[in-house]
Amino acid sequence: MKLPINTSVFAFFFCFFIAHSQQNQPKSTRNTIQKPNYQAALLQENPQVDGEVINDPVWQMVPAIKDLVQIRPNYGAAVSERTEVRIAYTNTTFYVSVVCYDNDADQIVVSDSRRDADLNDEDSFLFIIDTYHDRQNGFLFGTNAQGMEYDAQIDNEGKGNNNANRQQGGVIGGTNINWDATWKVRSQIGDYGWSAEFAIPFRSLRFAPGDNKTWGLNFQRNISKNTETAYWTSLPLGFDMKRLSLAGNLGGLNLKNPGNLKLIPYVLGKYVNDKSMEPKETDTNFDAGLDVKYSVTPSITLDLTYNTDFAQVEVDDQQVNLDRFNLFFPEKRAFFLENAGQFSVGSPGEVDLFFSRRIGISDDGSLVPIIGGARLSGKVGQTNIGFLSMFTDDVSDAGIEKNNFTVARVNHNVSGTRSSVGGIFINRSGLGSLEDDYNRVFAVDGKWGIGNKAEIAGFVAKSVTPGIEENDHAFKILGNYDWNGWRLNVGYTEVGEGFNPEVGFLQRTAFKKPEFLVFKTHRFKNAGKLLEIRPHVSYRGYWNFDNELVTSFLHVDNHWVFKSGLEIHTGINFTAEQVFQDFTISDVTVPVGYYNNEELQLVITTNPNNALAFDTRTIIGGYFNGNQISNSGTVNYRVGDKFNSSLTFSHSDIQLDTGDLTALVGGLRLSYSFTPRIFVQSLIQRNNVSNITSVNARFGWLQNANTGLFVVFNVVKDDDLLDALNNQTLTIKYTHRFDVLN
């Protein structure tokens, strides 16, 4: 059997649309975007960082940037409210100030004061700096009118896994908001609007020292009352500030090596009451560990860790598997998320060659003690380098031996382009008594940027596992065109039957997958309350190596976007599933067979600037040899900037010829921020398949970055009325950061 849609047709389709859309673009978008320039001011004295900008004589001597351009709602128009941005520096600190004038300051919205909370649903200001000027990677900082702290690491222009749970370790690129630097921001609200000052020590950044250096720069202002977003660099539709290849230029930087050595010890006490054991077990233990961060150069950092612990990290979201393939649980541990994009090769969420959750977490989700390890990462010229080596202890009860995990990565950016070429080596070596206990993966990858509008990317990988000699390969090639509202993709992925990345993640094994996407954003000028539409069609198909279809998914949809922030997505899915061996979904059997189905899909998202907002997804249609009605979504409610809550739910009513199934997963997040650095949070979860209810409650008192006092209480409960509480754990952890070279 041949593939239903030949990949050569995809390629022709892709190239045709590139040429067609290029010819029909207005001249202003066909030409190269004009990148604005600004010269940073070298200060002889430090400004007082208190949020007061207008009356600060130091800032008033610095020229202001005032020309911001809307991307929403009125594309290409000047920002609706006056905005002034100033940038300066001393030998030790990088400074940014902003004055966000507002003719109705009473309407300023502050929705969340927690560190790293989303800033897109309130009045806020963000800026991004490309400190290597490689047009690929950078650092993102932001705040709101209450002076909350937002920072993130940007890899690969923010492209990566689209999972909402932050950037995932082991995926390509993305926005890593788990990166936390030491810096300061203060804000002020007045009749004029609001203002803010940022002070970022150079030792918190990575950069190449020298005279007259240039960084990439862009910034963004969000004005809640107008659902407005404006940038310094005017961007084509469909892009955001993370598109660093289009960022403006910040010049006049004379940079010295600031020196950086941080010692980050922790102490921890834990009480465990485990009622699931017979007899009941209680245990109290104390522990300590240490992280060291040292800047070998301003652009290369060495991280050392001993007796690593992640007690303060939020627990995983519960999931129910309603299919035949692997569930993805994201990485949430800060140590592994820092610089995660540097170690990432593969296809995000589908073929991740390195997935850091394999280190210190077993297949069933239980913890494996991490003895310690080291990471060296950074940049030499235009070449990114990364080395990671971690040692884990044995767990005799689970039959887990000691292991060493090593990853070596190099990636060279071709100067002046969006192109790169690199390679990676991933190794797991058992340190126990077993012979030939190892697994290795070798891969090369690259990206060819064709101007600002198109690129071709891919990778080729091979695994080495004792006992597997054939078909141990994987590769992908993907062409992408993204400009002026058009997004066109065509690609092909193949994973051999013997490919075995034990320190990676495979959503499914042994497949051939063609795919394509045609997506168009059309912005209206005079359509009443309607802002834009986004019609699109996408296809992906999975085939085995006998050329038999396993899964096919054709998606036809349109997004209706309104000026109020409301979005409605109306789509239809045409699916095909071929089951070669009976499998069960929560005790309901899906028999061997070939199943063609259609689904109607409806997505509704309200304006996230409102105190009460929600998004829902409903799917109605066929499911294997029966039917399903599935509803999922999130309801968010806040009171001021202190209290935030969100209720997530997923309900599936599945009726098959072999039986019926109702799966319900719910989660309630509650948080209260006493100050931007003192908070209490809880996550309460329940699902009716495993009949498990869990509670994760956390109190945090942050000092700087991700250090401070944490108190964590975990409860796991089943439906046994005689012994309802299975497990209770109380953990108190204190972490302190010492800046030795400060």
Please, what are the domains in the chain?
A: 32-255 (2.60.40.1190)
Per-residue pLDDT, 175: 80
Element (H, E) at 646: strand 643-656
Helix/strand/coil percent split, the chain, to 5? 5, 55, 40
The string of pLDDT tens digits covering residues 389-420 is 999 999 988 788 999 999 999 999 887 788 99
Per-residue pLDDT, 170: 31
End-to-end alpha-carbon separation of the chain, Å?
A: 67
Count the alpha carbons within 13 Å of 577 in the hemisphere toward its beta carbon. Answer: 19
Residues 6+ apart with CB under 8 A from 591: 579, 582, 625, 658
Q: Round to whole Å and give the CA distance between 513 and 386.
A: 30
Dihedral sign (CA 101, 107, 112, 118): negative
Tokens 């927690």 identify what position? 114
The dihedral region occupied by 105, where left means phi > 0, alpha psi between -120 and 50, and beta the remainder, is: alpha
Q: Which of 402, 331, 338 is nearest to 365 (CA)?
A: 331
CA 655 remoteness from chain centre: 35
Per-residue pLDDT, 607: 92
Which residues, listed in sequence order, are joined to residue 387 by a DSSP beta bridge?
376, 408
Q: What angle do CA 370, 373, 376 make, to 5 degrees?
A: 145
Q: Round to whole Å and give the CA distance between 499 and 51.
A: 55
What does each C-alpha distance from 154 to 167, 330, 410 come to in angstroms? 10, 18, 18
What does each C-alpha distance from 732 to 314, 696, 705 come to in angstroms? 14, 14, 18
For the entire predicted model, the pTM comes to 0.86
What does each C-alpha distance from 411 to 188, 215, 407, 424 come to in angstroms? 43, 20, 13, 9
Please identify every stretch of the chain with a pLDDT value under 50, giving residue numbers as ranges: 1-31, 161-173
Which amino acid, 168? Answer: Q
Per-residue pLDDT, 461: 97
Q: Which of 208, 315, 246, 199 is nearest to 69 (CA)?
A: 246
Q: 3-state class of 500 per DSSP? A: coil
Q: 3-state class of 29 per DSSP? A: helix
Token code pair at residue 653 = 């009513």
**615 close to 646: Cβ distance less than 8 angstroms:** no
Buried b / exposed e over 121-146, threshold 16 CB at 10 Å, is bbbbbbbbbbbbbbbbbbbbbbbbbb
